[in-house]
Structure 1
């Protein structure tokens, strides 16, 4: 659903901040953060199913790994129905997206760290309104995707099936669509597709003279729609690393990996995915190439 929001957020944080801002009186803390930005970082990117309401669930959950010395961003889609242990939750286990509902980004981050043995450095959150604004800002002419008859009926589009250009609200419906035999798994695939398209849009925009000139205004507008714990100097340091070592590839995977889960019913959570955690933790570590695990409590 909002997973493409994910890539938008990451690419914005990494590529979009070449605004020329500077601080003549940088503190030691800021210098330390800039040095840290040169290291590999794991981001938790969250798309929430709300339009500003207080209570919401994470509709899209993705981990992104960026290594300033590398040429690829690695994206991992975490299925929201994964049955996980939530810290200090009275029923102990529930769907992964329930962690956000009861404890926001902090609890979701802690839940992922403990269940999948991975350290998360930063988080970023965007809701439906923000997603639509971001897409219309980054791709004002729309993005071309494959639209099926089922999508047209579900989204009430006045279009023919096949390749069509969709815009903000339509793209939101496109990535959230799940009324076919692929269900949530199909949504994950479409989220990856839109992320790749957004990456290409950003690359095209920021490598042109006109795009570079407009980038400060563009980034400022987009960042207004994103809630992140990154400081401005951290964003700029990451942007510098990105410019010096441009990302040319987006690698992706899904958790749970194939044949590593079973469909189950929970009395309190409903239909869930029961994961083989050992297999999925191993796959995640391998994908992130040597990512150090953290100690899992409990």
Structure 2
């Protein structure tokens, strides 16, 4: 009887030791993971150290953030203004990429709206002009006001990436390149803008600089319409690349690299919080829309003496389409397709 009790006591001690060992190993792994993440984060920042110490850039970032009148997300839907920036030959900032990215935290959905840069809108204080003129004249805040006034959509944060930064970020996410199906021969050189595109058709593995060229190419029959479509394609490919296992372990380094190359009013804490949420509750395919929408009488080209060739739009139609897409989860193009099929059947 006594011997039996001793055996039971010994077994209990062994179980306790085993539990302690397991807990110790888990704790060690967690500490190692945190240490690795911190190391990777600072490695990313170190790689872009010259950007962090750029006083002119830092001053611009502070000015934009101070002016931006952000509202808080409603119903878990974060609307982010995503801008691609470069400078003209006189050093004036301009954007040929204007997107609204929406992350619906509660429903794990991601949406992307591209607004054509030549869309003719009413800019507060400036009158009607191309929408990218709002950014040139008043930065992200004037662009936020313009989107709110014309489309009644609230923007909560902005992120501006210059084209040099885009290439660096891509090379950090995918140092071996990104696979993409190049649809046609693409050749274009802009020495003044530092842009050189030379791509062959077919499945290609592109570096950050080459992928940027693919996304910016517009010297064909599709012009800006083709560029917007390719930009949305690139964003979807990058989302899949970022979520691959090999890229997930580099997330801290990606964030560290991203911060110096991205001008944003979002805090590093919020960036980390949304990144964790995105990775732990991965949205499915990114839903996309373009403004002006591809519906009958949605837009038409017009040449104005003060603005050049623009896209005038049916404001009510495009405002409704954008609201339906972002707020109600209705894709106006799918609705129109369904209606057309019903009319054909009748």
User: 2:209 matched to 1:174?
Assistant: no
Please state if 1:66 is matched with 2:103: yes
Deviation beyond 6 Å, 4+ runs, structure 1 = 35-38
Cα distance between partner residues in 1 of 2:215 and 2:159: 19
User: Is 1:272 the counterpart of 2:321 in the alignment?
Assistant: no
Q: Offset at 1:57?
A: 1.0
Pair 1:246–1:145, CA change in 2 (3 A): closer
Query: Do the aligned residues in 1 keep the contact of 2:186 with 2:200 (CA within 8 Å)?
Result: no
Scaled by the length of structure 1, the TM-score of the pair is: 0.78
Q: Which residue of 2 aligns with 1:102?
A: 137
Say if 1:215 and 1:94 are closer, same or farther in 2 by CA, change over 3 A. Answer: same
The alignment status of 1:191 with 2:231, answered yes or no, reads: yes
What CA distance in whole angstroms lies between the structure 2 residues aligned with 1:273 and 1:229?
30
State the match for 1:29 in structure 2. none
Cα distance change on mapping 1:282 and 1:156 into 2, 3 Å: closer
* In structure 2, distance between residues paired with 1:133 and 1:179: 25
Tell me the distance in 2 between the aligned counterparts of 1:245 and 1:182: 36
What's 2:77 paired with?
40
Mapped to 2, the partners of 1:213 and 1:126 lie a distance apart of: 23
- The equivalent residue for 2:161 is 126
Check 1:264–1:71 CA distance in 2 against 1; reply closer, same or farther (3 A cut): same
- RMSD of aligned Cα (Å): 2.6
Does structure 1 retain, via aligned residues, the 8 Å contact 2:120–2:129? yes
* Higher RCO (C-alpha 8 Å, min separation 6): 1
Taking a change above 3 Å as real, the CA distance of residues 245 and 139 of structure 1, as seen in their structure-2 partners, is same
**Equivalent in the alignment of 1:290:** 328
Q: CA deviation at 1:163?
A: 1.9
Instruction: Compute the TM-score of the two structures, normalised by the length of structure 2.
Output: 0.67
Separation (CA, whole Å) in 2 of partners of 1:97 and 1:251: 23
Measure how far apart 1:289 and its partner are.
3.0
In structure 2, the partner of 1:245 is 281
Count how many residue pairs are aligned between Structure 1 and Structure 2: 254
Mark the structure with the bigger radius of gyration.
Answer: 2
Q: Is the 8 A contact 1:37 1:234 kept in 2?
A: no
Unaligned 5+ runs, structure 2? 1-35, 40-71, 190-195, 330-346
C-alpha contact 1:144 1:165 (8 A) present in aligned 2: yes
Match status 1:151 vs 2:186: yes
1:165-198 CA-partner distances (Å, limit 9, x unpaired): 2212222211111111111000011101111110
- 1:203, CA displacement in angstroms? 0.6
Deviation at 1:218, TM superposition (A): 2.4
Query: More helix per residue: 1 or 2?
Result: 2
